[in-house]
Amino acid sequence: MDKTIGIFGGGQLGRMMAQAALPLNIQCTFFEANRDCPAAQMGQVIDAQLDQAIETFIESAEVFSLEFENTPLADVDQLIKHKQIHPPRQALAIAQNRLLEKALFDQLDIPVAAYRAVDSLQSLEQAVRELGLPIVLKTATGGYDGKGQFVLRTADQIAEAWAELGRAKHLVAESFVSFSREVSIIAVRGQDGDVKTWPLAENHHHHGILSHSIVPAPNSAKLQGVAQDYITRLLNHLNYVGVLTLELFVTEQGLYANEMAPRVHNSGHWSIEGAVCSQFENHIRAVAGLPLGSTELIRPTVMVNIIGEHPATAEVLALSGAHLHLYNKTEREGRKIGHITLMPTDHAELTNLCRQLAEILPVPLALTTDMQIDF
């Protein structure tokens, strides 16, 4: 199939989408301000800073997608006058605003923590009275990887929280959810309405950034169907095309939605080796109007992010069952610059691989030798 897909953004997600597209004879172009972005090796990069750049981008492809939910809506609005974009604009607009997102969850009966809109110090004080403490105060727009958040535990932190985040003006205060772990469900919907989901991933974080994901999430058999139901409601309501991710908290009361991401997701990188058809290939298939591939698990996997500094390539590749993905990104503290997928055959090998990898990674992550996974 000869087709070109234009992608808003040229980061590692765009890079991996393009890598999945090439075997299908599908090319990608990228709308990106950084000419030396990770996706630059995979296709034409249209400099988003140039005059008439959006017009050039619109002419570069037949159909469009994105790799980042903060893609400017003004650019999308200009595009959809001429071409189609998947996922739809509505999904992007909702994902960019936590208040709209939570209202959608409420509308679809997807459980979410109690919340209040906050636009002043007085409304924050009222939210604290109504919700109780602790609460999580978040910017309604623009936050990611733990940024734009303040955990408010005592009343004497109210002024501090407002001073830190109040300039954003539009905030949301959420009741603090007592949860045992975080999981994510990733699904894809085709243009014909076909929906497929991957197994739940259990996600672990390091300084607010995803450090590693375990698939399938341990002890998740009873959770999988519930999560699939929630994300299918979202996909069908939005008439969505492409990959969607729903992040969830596991609580004693069941699953609570945290947020959705209208794109391929870091917690799904394992699927390149660990599933019959990866999140990247299935997203490309959906956007191009092709039949979806199987999301069946090949083997339990652990995906580990490389954050800040590169490990020695040879040392990683010497590990049995390890797959290394580097993003052509320079080293910087807190930056995701690659990932490693481990595909152990049993618990003994998993324990050994985690121990060896923990010694190799320059930035230590919370890889435990007693990690649980359902083989």
Binding-site entries for ATP: 98, 138, 143-149, 174-177, 182, 205, 258-259
Q: Please give the Cα distance from 75 to 8 (Å, whole number).
A: 9
Q: Please give the Cα distance from 244 to 261 (Å, whole number).
A: 6
Q: Are 332 and 338 in contact (CB under 8 A)?
A: no
Q: Are 63 and 260 in contact (CB under 8 A)?
A: no
Buried b / exposed e over 44-72, threshold 16 CB at 10 Å, is: bbbebeeeebbebbbebbebbbbbbbebe
Interacting residues of 224 by C-beta distance below 8 A, sequence separation 6+: 185, 199, 200, 216
3-state secondary structure of 128: helix
What kind and span of H or E run contains 187?
Answer: strand 181-189
Which residues are part of a known binding site? Answer: 98, 138, 143-149, 174-177, 182, 205, 258-259
Q: Please give the Cα distance from 191 to 286 (Å, whole number).
A: 6
Buried b / exposed e over 175-206, threshold 16 CB at 10 Å, is: bebebebbbbbbbbbbbeeebbbbbbbbbbeb
Question: Virtual CA dihedral for 350, 352, 354, 355, nearest 10 degrees?
Answer: 160
Q: Are 302 and 371 in contact (CB under 8 A)?
A: yes
3-state secondary structure of 212: strand
- Name the H helices within the chain: 12-21, 53-59, 73-79, 89-95, 98-107, 121-131, 158-165, 221-237, 271-274, 279-288, 313-317, 347-360
Angle at the Cα of 322 from the Cα atoms of 318 and 320, rounded to 5 degrees: 55
User: Could you please report the per-residue DSSP string of 227-272?
Assistant: HHHHHHHHHHHTT--EEEEEEEEEETTEEEEEEEESS--GGGTTHH
